[in-house]
Chains A and B, each alone.
Chain A
Amino acid sequence: MDKNNLNNIPKDLFVPLVRKEDTSEKISAPSRTFFQDAKRTLLGNKPAVFSMILILFIIIMSIVGPWMNDFGSDEQDLKRAKMPPRVPVLENVSWLGMDGTLSGKFQGKDVQQATAKANARFDNKEEFIDIKVLNKGDGTRNSAEVEATYRIYEAKDMKDTYFWFGSDALGRDQWTRLWEGTRVSLIIAFVAAVLDLVIGVAYGGISAFYGGRVDNVMQRIAEILVGIPNLVIILLMMLVLKPGIISIVIALSITGWIGMSRIVRGEVLKLKNQEFVLASRTLGTSNGTIIRKHLVPNISGIIIINTMFSVPGAIFFEAFLSFIGLGIVPPDASLGSLIDLGFDNLRLYPYMLVFPAIVISVLMIAFNIVGDGLRDAFDPKMHK
């Protein structure tokens, strides 16, 4: 229709509207609860979903990983100590470093001296050492350079043995120890997080719900406790307790709950005077039911987020304690103690540090991303 003809619309184009029921207020999509909303936001967050898959994969590997080969985590055999990683099939991809060879660059005044150094370093098994001359040298000190590759599996007559992630200084399989260590770290982290959650929610909840003198006393105690650096308390506890999984969990949960309790207290204080709680109280609902039906569901989002963030914190603290020698005792392993051992051999056998370092980094990053994702998901402002 042309704009100029707007006034000349033929009358028969006008048709009376059929009277229908009012549809403007109709709900076109099913209404979703808060948690359904949160789930949708979370599942739409690709990094968070990917991180969850990664965490799940690491958890599964920590359970089945040790069973995937025949080595036990405490089978020591010095004859096969410090073997480099070797994986079937992947051993043919040279740049991957999974071919079961040790290599290094050696310098000398001429090629011969450099080669001699290489031989001395690699058990003097010349027939298994490939020498590649990088620089012939001119006779001055350290001018010649050779690259030596030592086929250690052949030299030790273990052609059919495969240490996927290598073996440690005592000849124990790193693959088995890595996943068992991951399991220990995860157990500590989860138990510590759950303890934080239970104690923190109970303390904060009781303090806020009963209020008055109870709240006053409990908050004074918390105020003093929060001033004590938890690093100090954890270190002192670890000195006194017998090292092991249980001690670490106790040491971590002794101070870990305070943050959670403060958040829960704040939330409950905010909620308990709102109308819906008053209404429920007027109807004669018991305290227990009010807490269960009205308060807990409303603060569950913030509790989940906090727990999610306390898991990587616990993983870090466990690794930190094991690293400075206050954590897991051998022959048990954890990610921290594996990294500590890796440092001792960093110069010559970097693979001992690389794999546990990768696992712990991936775990920490994944947990933090999921935590961020959950925070966005439970934030009503973020819902579209």
Chain B
Amino acid sequence: MTRYLLRRVWYMLITLFIIATFSFFLMKILPGSPLQAEDKLSEEQKAIILEKYGLNEPIPVQYAKYLGGLVKGDLGVSFKFDNTPVTTILMDRIGPSALLGFQALVVGSILGIILGLLASIFRNSPIDFSSTIIAVIGTSIPSFVFAGLLQYVFAVKLGWFPVALWGTSAHTILPTIALAIHPMATAARFTRTEMVEVLHSNYIITARAKGVSETGIILKHGLRNALIPLITVLGPMAVGLMTGSMVIEQIFAIPGIGEQFVTSVMVNDYPTIMGTTLLFAFGFIVIILIIDLLYGLIDPRIRLAGGNK
């Protein structure tokens, strides 16, 4: 187990290093610098600005400094927001994103599990049919289309919720629903498939034969075993939440990481773009690692396979 963990962390570091290097050199190739719009500056002024951002040094030196800063958690200084370290910008904005992502994941997976469970209990009934339709629609419709629909109907037309911005918990409801639809559909599909399979296993027949109540069979023997593989789809779900957060924060004007990224792209604020990219990559890789470890802990068969690999 320890060897497996070490190997995984090692791979994680390599991946992060590659992403950091890749994004650093890409940003160097790109046209544009903090001086783009300031043609009127004299040569000395330009030199001062370049020195301030460390852009006058040769690229290998810049690269080494960048990597050195990364180790200390320093992501550089934003071009756009004067003198603000990228780390500070991101830390200020991580709250809303994290809150939305967490709410969406919890709401989505709970609703999805309930939906999938109902579908598997009442198989081939109208409940099953409508749950399948909800799942297909939920996985297919892009989150920004769904967000637009919610915004138009519930905020613009009916006025039940605020149209956009951030503040009270009422502001989080529509974005959370828009983000949650995808995890919900994924969880519903997965739970249904797994439950149908599990309910046909021999140990369910044994439980029935010894007279366990139907509720007990479904909740204790069925759902518990069906939920183990659900952990594997948590990874893709988390990725979906990250993609979704960019557009949804943009649509609802929420001051989160995703909105920051889109804004930075529009104003060519490269240090912030790089910092956000690294943060996304780091989040993603850590989530995948945690999921793999969790899976090994919950299902002993996997742990053996992982340890001997």
Contact = CB atoms under 8 A, between A and B. Distances in A.
Interface of A: 223-224, 227-229, 231-233, 235-236, 239-240, 312, 316, 319-320, 323-326, 339, 342-343, 346-347, 350, 353, 357, 360-361, 364-365, 367-369, 372
A360 B137 CA distance: 12
Contacts of B246: 320, 324
Given A232-B280, A239-B30, A326 B265 contact: yes
A332 to B, nearest CB: 19
B1 interface: no
A227 B11 contact: yes
Contacts of A316: 142
Contacts of A347: 156
Contact of A324 (B12, B26, B247): B247
A229 B239 contact: yes
Contact of B15 (A227, A324, A346, A365): A227
B281 A232 contact: yes
9 contacts: A224-B15, A227-B11, A228-B281, A231-B243, A232-B281, A239-B265, A353-B152, A357-B149, A364-B141
A224 B148 contact: no
Given A224-B15, A343-B251, A231 B242 contact: yes
Nearest to A240: B26
A361 B181 CA distance: 14
B234 interface: no
Contacts of A325: 262, 265-266
A232 B148 CA distance: 24
A360 B247 CA distance: 16
A369 B11 contact: no
B280 A231 contact: yes
Contact of A361 (B18, B140, B251): B140
Contacts of A367: 140
Given A339-B148, A346-B151, A320 B142 contact: yes
Interface of B: 11-12, 14-15, 18-19, 22-23, 26, 29-30, 136-137, 139-142, 144-145, 148-149, 151-152, 156, 239, 242-243, 246-247, 250-251, 261-262, 265-266, 273, 277, 280-281, 284-285, 288
A341 B68 CA distance: 42
Given A229-B280, A239-B26, A324-B265, A361 B11 contact: no
A222 to B, nearest CB: 12
Contacts of A364: 140-142
Contacts of A346: 148, 151-152, 156
B14 A224 contact: yes
Contact of A357 (B23, B139, B148, B281): B148
Main secondary structure on A side of the interface with B: helix
Contact of A323 (B30, B156, B247): B247
Contacts of A361: 137, 140-142, 145
Nearest to B19: A228
A231 B23 CA distance: 13
A59 to B, nearest CB: 17
Contacts of A240: 26, 29-30
B277 A235 contact: yes
A324 B244 CA distance: 11
**CB-based closest 7 A-B pairs:** A364-B140, A227-B15, A365-B140, A229-B284, A357-B145, A361-B141, A368-B140
B142 A319 contact: yes
A361 B143 CA distance: 10
B235 to A, nearest CB: 10
B242 A236 contact: no
A97 to B, nearest CB: 14
A368 B139 contact: yes
A228 B18 contact: yes
Contacts of B18: 224, 228
B149 to A, nearest CB: 7
Contacts of A227: 11-12, 15, 285, 288
A323 B144 contact: yes
Contact of A342 (B148, B156, B262, B280): B148
Given A231-B243, A368-B139, 10 more contacts: A224-B18, A228-B19, A231-B242, A239-B26, A240-B26, A320-B247, A324-B247, A339-B144, A361-B142, A364-B142
B148 A343 contact: yes
B240 to A, nearest CB: 10
Contacts of B151: 346
Tell me which of A339, A343, A353, A369 has the highest count of chain B C-beta atoms within 10 A of its own C-beta.
Answer: A343
Contacts of B149: 357
Contacts of B265: 235, 239, 324-326
Contacts of A224: 11, 14-15, 18
A168 to B, nearest CB: 16
B243 A320 contact: yes
A98 to B, nearest CB: 18
